[in-house]
Amino acid sequence: MSRRSVLAGALAGGLALTVGDASTQVALAAPGYTGDTLVVLSLRGGVDGLSMVAPVGDPYYAALRPTLAVPASVAHQLDATFGLHPALGPLLPLWRAGQLAVLHAVGMAAANRSHFSAMEEMERAAPGTTLRTGWLDRMVGGTGEGSVFSAVQAGRTTPASSLRGPTPELAFRALDGLRLRSGARGEEARRDTVLRALHAGAPAALAGAATTALDAVARTGGVLAARPAPPVAYPDSDLGRSLRDVAALVLTGAGVRAAAVDVGDWDMHVGMGAPTDPKGWMHTKLTDLARALVAFAADLGPAMSRVTLVTLSEFGRTADENGSGGTDHGYGNAVLVLGGGVVGGRVHGRWPGLAPTARVGGDLAVTTDYRSLLAEALVTRCGMTPATAFPGAVTPTSGVFRAR
């Protein structure tokens, strides 16, 4: 038996860690970083931004999607061009309060319609280089010494590739599942002592991972004990539970600097469902998304002033619907931005239109590099330079966020 297998057998609830520096000092909330907690919500599978934030005022939209276009009559109108999908109605109070904004026609500089390749490139965010780390790893690494919760992946035990690299990260399915397995009450402390002693002479990488895992387990109890009851109920879904855990870490001062959250099942080639069908695939998914975001904002309350959430997806969908009641892999997409520092109630970015000559390979063009949006968040909300996370020349967008 190895030290690693002993540790894995002692942990319950699902936990994964990667540690590049075994000397990292762990504290519940380390001083030094005063920027926002950056939450990246990955809509995996290629969300259809043209349904999520529908260009109902574009003269080509309805003709491209005879059965799937969101009718202007049921869209929640945002301005003369755009309306939210009917299922996203719960987000309107956040929009009106200035905490929610949209950036449309967002994506990578070069079209990539392969799920795995596009996700890898988006999360590496270093085109034209041989850099293999993820941009969130580089971002957190640039914030200085942190806590065991500085970089977290909520909802799964495999960290996103955006967290790949030397900076420690913690990946978990659920906070309340982080504990040491024990056959008898009161045995947790003894197991902790034994496991720490067992790993004391291990190689640095293994000892560091073990220490971080045990520190995370030890501190999670305090986080859960100090966590106030949410003022609203989260949806009983993977997304709802993950955002609830992120909110708990923020509210208890656990020192989260970046949190990655995933929600999949957006690859709707077939049977997307009519925009007005509450049982349709897209309608159901967007309902869960809206309710989870509303609960997250209500839960955080005043603490939302120090949180920025951005949705990302590897690519958008085709401008026209296919013959199977769905859409295929496309290019440009819509991004939702939520937070106390957001210039909300606006659709940002330059809309290229859906005219045939404006599209790229038949798809919505990209007029804003997604890295530019993230770079503005880093500068204005996190107090960092774009180069910390993004190699090369990345010009931040302007006006999407307010400076802290």
Q: What is the pLDDT along the chain (404 residues), one digit of tens a residue?
A: 444 454 455 555 555 444 332 222 333 344 579 999 999 999 999 999 999 999 999 999 999 999 999 999 999 999 999 999 999 999 999 999 999 999 999 999 999 999 999 999 999 999 999 999 999 999 999 999 888 999 999 999 999 999 999 998 999 999 988 776 665 556 667 766 777 777 777 776 666 667 777 777 878 888 888 988 999 999 999 999 999 999 999 999 999 999 999 999 999 999 999 999 999 999 999 999 999 999 999 999 999 999 999 999 999 999 999 999 999 999 999 999 999 999 999 999 999 999 999 999 999 999 999 999 999 999 999 999 999 999 988 999 999 999 99
User: What does the block give as tokens for 70?
Assistant: 């969101």
How far apart, in whole angstroms, are the C-alpha atoms of residue 160 and residue 171? 9
DSSP state at residue 89: G
Which pLDDT score is estimated for 23? 26
Total-model pTM: 0.90
Contact yes or no for 82/104 (Cβ under 8 A) = yes
How far apart, in whole angstroms, are the C-alpha atoms of residue 369 and residue 189? 49
Which pLDDT score is estimated for 1? 43
Q: What is the CATH number of domain 28-178+235-388?
A: 3.40.720
User: With the C-alpha atoms ordered 133, 135, 136, 142, is the resulting torsion angle positive or negative?
Assistant: positive
Which pLDDT score is estimated for 251? 96
Q: Say what angle helices 188-198 and 3-10 make with each other, to 10 degrees.
A: 160
Residue type, 233: A
Which pLDDT score is estimated for 220? 86
Give the phi and the psi of residue 151 in degrees, each rounded to 5: -130, 115
Q: Match 């030094």 to its residue by tokens.
A: 32
Domain ranges of the chain: 28-178+235-388
Grouping H, G, I as helix, E, B as strand and the rest as coil, residue 309 is: strand
Contact yes or no for 209/19 (Cβ under 8 A) = yes
CA atoms within 13 A on the CB side of 237: 21
